[in-house]
Structure 1
Amino acid sequence: DVFSVQGEHSKRYHLILPAFFRLLDSLHRDGRTFAVIFRTFGTDLPRALRAVSCALAGQHPQFPALRDVALPVDLTPGQIRCSKREVVLTKGAERMATRENRRKLYDYFSSFEGIGGFQDHYDWWARNQFSSRGGKPLWIDPHDPDIHHIFIDDNIRLDDADTIVRPQVFSKQGSSSPRCVPTSELYNVCLVQTDLLEAIANEDYFLNCVRRCEESYDHYLACMEKDTLDQQWDGQ
């Protein structure tokens, strides 16, 4: 069964929670334009991507209507590797790095279509004491209001010394040098700490997370715009 894994006593469990497939179905029904990128330190991407591909082919017993969701699934995972100098993304023959222009990877993820996945750099996270400094990089541009990146992970925490994502924000329009920000600045705006029990019990969980983040992001953008206008006024 592509949609489940075997646990103790031969009991089978969901490989991907139904709440995820409900999210895909709901966003599609609402006519939304979106992409999904799995980011993991593990080696489970090929199996997860195959399960999603089968679901979108109408094979999921709970969500047969997903066959109507016209999203391509790239079954070939990519890699993200980090160092003090740069972040390097590779996927097949593609390779891009942030050394010359940190906006490259933001633009790449912002223009991503369909569903795919990347294995992040666990050793780098471990070398940085499992802190934000070594976490999975995420770039946000509040001057690009048509794009909203939302990172959902159960290891996201408000304590930057013990969290899994390294959020970076392009504070100035067109800038290629983002500033690193604390998790608290983007918590429930672009960063969501998964409530695992709620995600299991409530099939609308991820959809509710997205809706809450969208409301918060509108407020965040308004605040960023006000700060920009205030800075311009102060400089006159």
Structure 2
Amino acid sequence: PVGSVILGGSVPALITSWEWPDGCVPFYKIKPLGKKFAKSFTEAGSPGHIYRLVYNALEQALRLPETTGAVDPRLTLDGAHHFLLPAFFETLDSLHRTKRNFSLVIRSYGSDGAAVSDALRAWAEGAHPTVRGVTSLAPCASASWRAEYADDGSFTLRPQASDGGVVEAGRVLSESAAVTMMEAIGDPPSRPRATLCRDDYSWWKKHACMPSSGKPLWLTLGDSSAHHLFFDDNIHNDANDSIVAVRVRESAEAPFAAATGEATRRLHGICLVRCPTLEPILRTSWFLERIDAAEREREKRFNTTAKQLSLLEAC
């Protein structure tokens, strides 16, 4: 629960856990309320006004330090607040300092990829006011991709142009080739790298936001060489409404197929993690804690083909 320290005992704590408490339902699931108060939840007249102190704490946590002078404009939209969460950069810095072999893939349905890329590059260049940069994580122009689902459900990547469209003459990566590229750690491993991917929102929307049509997360049965871990604030504990499409293949030579929504839901905490954004805003170690927890769960529940099939088929 979030808010117990900020609010005291008179206001119910905000629940950010994966499981819904008995008798409760997420606010956004109540369509008339979610639509009306989505952008004014803590303002006067809203049911969420009791959480205004939490909003204030979040706003304060996102403020740029006042003692650093002018901040690189790529790192802020208004000159007063961080554009990307400090916890995100803290996580990358910690993984690099502890010599973890990893790659970073930024996934988005929107047109904000260029701005995110610029902010990541500014941090990598050492311009961030509080978190040291990792030079190799500065995205290059060739590391920006546009995802597309075909009518038959197959998936490809094409180079993304600076305006967000695709480079018509660019090479097309098959789903297998896309996985190989995204799994690649730095060369050498001490130099992690970043890739950006704009996913196919139209396909997801066309299929009523079903998990099987969302942003792909790839699994190869029995392959422990890479641990895919997908963070998103729109991952839901709902087999019919979530943003990540777990796609599974039997071997590196086999085609991928979408897992069911129920199987996707069961993989939470192992390969995908819902990110209640207020958590990493208030606690910059949150991503690292979730990575550690996911690695433990993977080793315990998902480290053999038999265990993988047990979770994927127990639906």
Scaled by the length of structure 2, the TM-score of the pair is: 0.64
How far 1:225 sits from its partner (Å)?
Answer: 4.4
How far 1:66 sits from its partner (Å)?
Answer: 1.8
CA distance in 1, matches of 2:218, 2:116: 24
CA distance in 2, matches of 1:227, 1:2: 42
How far 1:216 sits from its partner (Å)?
Answer: 1.2
Higher gyration radius (CA): 2
Structure 1 pair 106–70 and aligned structure 2 pair: CA distance change class (3 A): closer
Question: What is the identity percentage for the equivalent residue pairs of Structure 1 and Structure 2?
Answer: 26
Question: Unaligned regions of 5+ residues in structure 2, if any?
Answer: 1-72, 160-166, 187-192, 310-315
CA distance in 2, matches of 1:148, 1:17: 23
Question: Paired residue for 1:213?
Answer: 294
Question: Paired residue for 1:70?
Answer: 136
Residues 145 and 221, structure 1, Cα contact 8 Å, conserved in 2: no
Residues 128 and 134, structure 1, Cα contact 8 Å, conserved in 2: yes
Residues 75 and 84, structure 2, Cα contact 8 Å, conserved in 1: yes
Give the number of the structure with larger relative contact order, counting CA–CA contacts within 8 Å between residues 6 or more apart.
1
CA distance in 2, matches of 1:204, 1:32: 16
Structure 1 pair 179–75 and aligned structure 2 pair: CA distance change class (3 A): same
Structure 1 pair 112–151 and aligned structure 2 pair: CA distance change class (3 A): same
Question: Paired residue for 1:231?
Answer: none
Residues 248 and 258, structure 2, Cα contact 8 Å, conserved in 1: yes
Question: Paired residue for 1:58?
Answer: 126
Scaled by the length of structure 1, the TM-score of the pair is: 0.84
Question: Paired residue for 1:26?
Answer: 94
Q: Write 1 or 2 for the structure with the bigger share of strand.
A: 1
Structure 1 pair 17–226 and aligned structure 2 pair: CA distance change class (3 A): closer
Q: Deviations over 1:35-85 (max 9, x none)?
A: 11111010111111111111111110101x325x53342245210011232
Question: Unaligned regions of 5+ residues in structure 1, if any?
Answer: 229-236
**Are 2:272 and 1:194 equivalent residues in the alignment?**
no
Structure 1 moving runs of 4+ over 6 Å: none
Q: CA RMSD in A?
A: 2.1
Alignment of 1:131-146 (within 5 A): 131-146=210-225
CA distance in 1, matches of 2:304, 2:89: 33
Question: Paired residue for 1:117?
Answer: 196
How far 1:133 sits from its partner (Å)?
Answer: 2.5
Alignment coverage as a number of residue pairs: 217
CA distance in 2, matches of 1:149, 1:192: 11
Residue identity matched to 2:137:
L
**Are 2:187 and 1:108 equivalent residues in the alignment?**
no
